[in-house]
Chains A and B, each alone.
Chain A
Amino acid sequence: MKKLLTATAAGALITGAAFAQDGGEIKMGVILGFTGPIESLTPAMAAGAEMAMQEVTESGKLLGGATVTPVRADSTCVDSAAATAAAERLITSDGVKAIMGADCSGVTGAVLANVAVPNGMVMISPAATSPALSEAEDNGLFFRTAPSDARQGEVLANILMEKGIESVAVTYTNNDYGKGFADAFQSAYENAGGSVTLSAPHEDGKADYSAEVGALASAGGDALVVLGYVDQGGAGIIQGALDTGAFDLFAFGDGMVGDQLTANFGADLEGSIGTAPGSQNEGVDTFAEMAQGAGIDGTSVYAGESYDAAALMLLAMAAAGSSDPADYAGKIEMVANAPGEPIGPGELDKALEILAEGGDIDYGGATGVELVGPGEAAGSYAEYTIEDGALKVVGYR
């Protein structure tokens, strides 16, 4: 009995200490692939998330002036075991209250199932777009500020059909993102009456893509649909297809739409089309300016989504009045969606103030966040065409 009393007292003390920390410091895990296939994208993403944390810290209005500190961890993008271990470390040894991440769909699913759900940790991914994550068992803890590729597949298929391109070869990066996207695209395209001559995966970061290009060229088609990464295998495939004269019209998924695409291939891709998450809102430009001021590239893919992911969790904490994941998880959809005062990037101070007064906000942020279904961004896509060697937005869908 005495032992039980001591244990209870000790337990109470620890809980007390945890509460006392709230006013002081809130740690947020930032788990992204700082090494591995998307290591060139993640610095801007992490910096985006950290901008939101700094903004909240400087406002001094979160839970009585808490400081938000980021703790970075490496998801590697490809190695689920490493990502799981890193996330485990964030929770057990760093004691984070929220996780911004992970990035690639495969590791995100692994971290969610093995770490976030068992530990009751809230996780918002800025970049995982695999349709499979919509059905993942998440106990209401998982959200994403990036839309599912199921929607993007439809959008891309519709654009192709409208342009009268009725037969294509598809190549996708061989991971959860690529596979999910390619399947979604293929079923949407075939339903619309198109035919896919070959859907072949390619591995990223490999030495040579002659084999893939050869097979795709042999299968033929009016255009080549590339659902990969612009600084990875996707670039190798395009290079090979252009060099051998196999295809001269391409269609790109979001991973391919980037400045590097036109910097590398520019004029050779004239008339090719692409889709990437994007919407007509002022947030994008405001965020790009803010980011530029902070010395990062705000137009980099998923930098805005990362900012929004971090901001959403912090605002939900403010709305719940607690940094305990169990308390604030339920508030995330509330702060993200209407009704309430619209909040853009750089207005976190105002948002915290409204929440403190008991008001309601509708966070739009850098990417016009609107959470639907199982807590994922609704997905508005920009349609790009390559004209005169540059990516040009021709419309939104």
Chain B
Amino acid sequence: MDLLNGLVALANFVLIPAIAYGSQLALGALGVTLIYGILRFSNFAHGDTMAVGTMFAVLATWGLQAMGVGFGPLPTALLAIPFGILGAAALVLLTDRFVYRFYRAQKAKPVILVIVSIGVMFIYNGVTRIIIGPEDQRFADGARFVISARDFKEMTGLAEGLALRTSQVITVIAAVAIVAVLFWFLNRTRTGKSMRAFSDNEDLALLSGINPERVVLVTWLIVAALATVAGVLYGLDKSFKPFTYFQLLLPIFASAIVGGLGNPLGAIAGGFVIAFSEVGITYAWKKVLVYMMPPALEPDGLMQILSTEYKFAVSFVILVIVLLFRPTGLFRGKSL
């Protein structure tokens, strides 16, 4: 019984939150890594692209709610995702047409594009705040829990509760589905293959008749879709606040780099590495150990490897170690 209690506490405070957070990071990192692989620059505006997409989805959600449209126990926001993607796609395509295309035509160095993307980031930042404001917006509806901590305790009679939120389940399922579709698209379809060809060797791809503008267009569309889905899922799980989305950029980039920039598989692995290291290493193991250990060995202290202040340090230490020993990331992305 004690062993079960310990496992439940571990699942409740470490495994479930870290898996959900890892999926959110993975979806964000996929967008970053695609842009890096195909357009060859680190897109610092990605966090704010997520914010813009989510903002359109939130507005559409409110619209749907006002019309009385619901989605049963699932959040209405899922129905609003297509609107969010449309909004985000329109914005990134406009940005590409008026900003990035100019620099692409000049064959600008990646570092210049990075600076340009920082400029774009500030503009998106402002656009989001002008349209929806800087405040926290909650747009989740439907059933919040698949199973709440209290219900779990009553059902099983255990001392520890286990909470599983609808948004966490949706996030993990959506992440798996999206990754599967993306891999099928990149590996099996003509457009996907031309994107990979363009990413591997731009000149060769151009010579074999691949239309670069089309590759760029499709890349932005996919990125807009990924960013919006990641943003909406994150917003459903936590809440929508433009400032937080801007801050998400850091763990997302850490995930993409740890996994190997430009490698989609790496982005996913990186997301989970970062999430588990943030949650796991700073976890106070006292509660779990008290259940698992014989009474004589029960710890007095918190059994915390590092205090939670250092959780960001943890992800960056991992980043540094990976870059030192495997500069291309865990999954052999492009070297920085």
Q: In the complex, what distance in Å separates the CA atom of A217 from the CA atom of B14?
A: 11
B248 touches A207 (CB 8 A): yes
CB of A198 closer than 8 Å to a CB of B? yes
Q: A211–B248 contact, CB under 8 A? A: no
In the bound complex, how far is the Cα of B253 from the Cα of A207, in angstroms?
13
Q: What are the residues of chain A within 8 A of B244 when measuring CB–CB?
A: 205-207
Which residues of A173-226 have CB atoms within 8 Å of chain B's CB atoms? 174, 198, 200-203, 205-208, 210-215, 217-220
- The A253-304 residues at the B interface (CB cut-off 8 A) are 260, 264
Interface residues of A in 224-263 (CB under 8 A from B): 231, 235-236, 239-240, 243-246, 260
- CB of A231 within 8 A of CB of B136, answer yes
Task: Answer whether residue A39 sits at the interface, using C-beta atoms and an 8 A cutoff.
Answer: yes
Q: Are A215 and B161 in contact (CB under 8 A)?
A: no
Contact of B312 with A200 in the complex, beta carbons under 8 Å: no
A37 lies within 8 A of chain B by Cβ: yes
Within 8 Å by CB of A244, from B163, B283, B312, lies: B163
CB closest chain-B residue, reference A201: B309
Kindly report which residue of chain A lies nearest to residue B126, judged by CB atoms. Answer: A35
B18 within 8 A of A: yes
Known: A218-B285, A219-B302, A244-B163. A208 touches B21 (CB 8 A): yes
Q: Decide: B17 and A264 in contact? CB cutoff 8 A.
A: no
Residue of B nearest to A213 (CB): B13
In the bound complex, residues from chain A placing their C-beta under 8 Å from that of B309 are: 174, 200-201
Judged by a CB distance under 8 angstroms, whether A36 is at the interface is yes
Which listed segment binds A: B30-38, B57-65, B67-75, B233-241?
A: B233-241
User: Does the CB pair B308–A201 fall under 8 Å?
Assistant: yes
Task: State A219–B308 Cα separation when bound (angstroms).
Answer: 13
Cβ–Cβ contact A205 & B302, under 8 A: no
> Which residues in chain B, 210-255, are within 8 Å of chain A measured between CB atoms?
234, 238-239, 241, 243-244, 246-248, 251
A54 within 8 A of B: no
Given A200-B307, A212-B308, A231-B136, A36 and B287 contact (CB-CB distance below 8 Å): no
Please pick, from A36, A200, A214, A220, the residue contacting B13 in the complex, using a CB distance under 8 A: A214
- B239, A208: Cβ atoms under 8 Å? no
Contact of A231 with B18 in the complex, beta carbons under 8 Å? no
Task: Determine if B302 and A215 form an interchain contact, defined as CB atoms under 8 angstroms apart.
Answer: yes
A174 to chain B, nearest CB (A): 7
Q: What B residues does A245 contact at CB under 8 A?
A: 12, 148-150, 153, 161, 163
Give the CA-CA distance A201 to B307 in the complex, in Å.
9
Residue-wise, chain B 282-303 has the 8 Å CB interface mask toward A (1 for contact) of 1111111000000000000010
Minimal Cβ-Cβ distance residue in B for A198:
B302
**Residue pair A244, B12 in contact (C-beta under 8 Å):** yes
Give the nearest-CB partner of B164 in chain A: A243
Q: Looking at the assembled complex, report how far the CB atom of B321 sits from the nearest CB atom of chain A, in whole angstroms.
A: 20
B243→A218 contact, CB < 8 A: no
**A side interface size, CB within 8 A:** 35
Contact of B21 with A215 in the complex, beta carbons under 8 Å: no
CB distance from B211 to the nearest CB of A (A): 37
Cα separation A37 to B309 with both chains bound (whole Å)? 18
A211 near B304: Cβ-Cβ < 8 Å: no
What's the nearest-Cβ distance from chain B to residue A206, in Å? 6
A198 neighbours in B (Cβ, 8 Å): 284, 302
CB nearest to A42 among chain B residues: B134
Tell yes or no: B97 within 8 A of A by CB. no
Least CB distance, A33 to chain B, in whole angstroms = 11
Is B165's CB within 8 Å of the partner chain A? yes
Give CA–CA (A40, B136) in the complex, Å: 9
Chain B 135-150, CB-CB to A under 8 Å as 1, else 0, gives 1101000000100111
Q: Tell me the complex Cα distance, A200–B150, Å.
A: 26
Chain A residue numbers with a CB within 8 Å of B136 are 40, 231, 235, 260, 264
Cα-based distance from A217 to B304 in the complex (angstroms):
12
Complex Cα spacing A215 to B282, Å = 7
Which of A208, A231, A246 is the most central at the interface, judged by chain B CB atoms within 10 Å of its CB? A208
Supposing A40-B134, A210-B279, A244-B12 touch, asked if A215 and B308 sit within 8 A by C-beta, the answer is yes
B46 within 8 A of A: no
Give the complex CA separation of A382 and B192 in angstroms: 62
Are A220 and B308 CB-contacts (below 8 A) given A205-B247, A214-B14, A243-B163? no
State A213–B9 Cα separation when bound (angstroms).
12
Give the complex CA separation of A210 and B16 in angstroms.
Answer: 9
Q: In the complex, what residue of chain A is closest to B280 when comparing beta carbons?
A: A211
Besides the known contacts A203-B312, A218-B287, A243-B149, 7 further A-B residue pairs in the complex with CB atoms under 8 A apart: A40-B136, A205-B247, A207-B251, A211-B279, A214-B279, A218-B288, A246-B13
- Closest 4 CB pairs between A and B? A245-B149, A210-B17, A218-B284, A214-B13
Residue numbers of A with Cβ under 8 A of B are 36-37, 39-40, 174, 198, 200-203, 205-208, 210-215, 217-220, 231, 235-236, 239-240, 243-246, 260, 264
Can you identify 14 A-B contacts, CB atoms within 8 angstroms?
A: A174-B309, A205-B247, A207-B24, A207-B234, A210-B13, A214-B13, A215-B282, A215-B304, A217-B13, A218-B283, A218-B286, A219-B302, A244-B163, A245-B161
